[in-house]
Structure 1
Amino acid sequence: MLIGPPGSGKTTVGRMLAHRLGTGFRDTDADVETVAGKPVADIFVDDGEERFRELEAAAVRQALAGHDGVLALGGGAILSEATQELLDGHHVIYLQVGLTDAVQRVGLAQARPLLVLNPRSQLKRLMEERRPVYERLASIIVATDGRQPEEIVGEILKGLPA
């Protein structure tokens, strides 16, 4: 299970990791979009963050119950205490990223609902607020700054139990 802020590489690394492990990949943000029938950004605008978080918590719960491959959680999924409890006992990999790399990867021109006003400042705030939770939940922490996805996947594989 991969956690981390926007731009940490959860989807990219998750797909590669799943391929290397010969298993499936699932992204809870994509699950939310499927259920809602619209992109995450539109859910925030049309229905609000609270509704998005409800859908997100349900998506995580369902994925943990029915998916045994690599799972990427949305950056804020770990804010839910119920989700934090569900992650207990799972191999949780925190993809740690610095602000500069996150900004480059996110592209800040993309539709990121929580990064609307002053995106760089908002992203920095989100990363700082969430870091202690990411670190507490993680069984493995992998720094991603300046690294290629293949290198990150290799480090994850070394850290997983045999």
Structure 2
Amino acid sequence: MLQRRDPHSRWSGKPIVLVGLMGVGKSTVGRRLAQRLGLSFVDADNEIEAAAGMSIADIFDTYGEPYFRDGERRVIARLLDGRPKVIATGGGAFINDETRALILQTAIAIWLDAPLDVLVDRVARRDHRPLLRNRDPATVLAELAATRNPIYAEAPIRVPSDHNPHDVTVKAILEALDA
């Protein structure tokens, strides 16, 4: 069920930032949403890799998660330049207090939320996520959901992302934004 907790969360031309756990569809939904709105789309993870000149997995392996999160925060701050666009963030971006505050102040944050079984099914399709290496995806995702979902809930708009086609999620976002 679509939830809009803040009646002032309608889209006003601010950047739209998609947040949520890995596998929820932020990048895929974000591309389609941007296309529907006639906006540019930016995947923060791709921007981080371009800025670092290495993959996220390599950043984690070489420098560790704290280093990655600091770079992620700086890249997202650069992307939030006030121009209308759709930004897909990595699953941990909104968890950082400073990044979350910046997103909530300068953009419309939309939490894409999905049941655990949907997330497990989606992340099983690709083997590139550092937090899942050598671990059971269902266990990791359940742990992440327990700690991160209360923080994602700070986003003014929550949209479910389940087994339906991604266009259903895009339509729900457009309805929430009255766009």
In structure 2, C-alpha distance between the alignment counterparts of 1:113 and 1:67, rounded to whole Å: 31
In structure 2, C-alpha distance between the alignment counterparts of 1:140 and 1:146, rounded to whole Å: 20
- Residue 146 of structure 2 aligns to which amino acid in structure 1? E
Equivalent in the alignment of 1:139:
156
Equivalent position to 1:63, from 79, 92, 96 = 79
Percent of aligned positions that are identical: 40
Aligned to 1:88, the other structure's residue is in SS state helix
Q: CA RMSD in A?
A: 1.4
| Greater helix content | 1
TM-score, scaled to structure 1: 0.94
- 1:111-142 residue CA offsets vs partner (Å, 9 max, x unmatched): 21111222321121112210001011x12111
Worse-superposed segment, 87-96 or 56-65: 87-96
Q: Tell whether the 8 Å contact from 2:114 to 2:161 is kept in structure 1 after alignment.
A: yes
Aligned residues: 161
| Larger relative contact order (Cα-Cα within 8 Å, sequence gap ≥ 6) | 2
Q: Give the gaps of 5 or more residues in structure 1.
A: none
Question: 1:1-162, aligned counterparts within 5 Å?
Answer: 1-65=17-81, 67-89=83-105, 90-107=107-124, 110-116=127-133, 117-136=135-154, 138-162=155-179
Shift of 1:66: 5.9
Q: Tell whether the 8 Å contact from 1:2 to 1:10 is kept in structure 2 after alignment.
A: yes
Shift of 1:109: 5.0
- CA 152–109 in structure 1, closer or farther in 2 if over 3 Å, else same: closer
Q: Tell whether the 8 Å contact from 1:108 to 1:119 is kept in structure 2 after alignment.
A: no
- CA 67–30 in structure 1, closer or farther in 2 if over 3 Å, else same: farther
TM-score, scaled to structure 2: 0.85
Greater than 3 Å deviation, 4+ residue runs:
none
